[in-house]
Amino acid sequence: MTTPIRATIAMLVATLAALVTPPPAGAQEIDPLRCEARRLRCESELYQCVSRCERRGPRDLSAPAGARPVLADDACEARCADRHAETMLRIAAMPPCAPGGAPDAGLCEARLLRLGAAGLVCRARCGRQREREGFDAAACLDHCATRCAGAVANTMDQTICGRGRIGAAPLCE
Tens of pLDDT, residue by residue over 48-105, are 988 888 777 655 556 665 555 555 567 788 888 889 988 888 888 777 777 555 777 8
- The whole-angstrom separation of Cα 4 and Cα 9 is 9
From 81, 86, 98, 84, select the one nearest 34 (Cα to Cα): 98
Does position 41 have pLDDT exceeding 80, yes or no? Answer: yes
Whether omega for the bond prior to residue 32 falls within 30 degrees of 0, making it cis, is: no
Instruction: Give 138's contacts (C-beta < 8 A, 6+ positions apart).
Output: none
Of how many residues is the chain composed?
173
Whether omega for the bond prior to residue 96 falls within 30 degrees of 0, making it cis, is: yes
What's the mean per-residue pLDDT of the chain?
75
CA separation (Å) from 14 to 7, 11, 160? 10, 5, 35
How much is the pTM?
0.50
The amino acid that residue 22 corresponds to is P
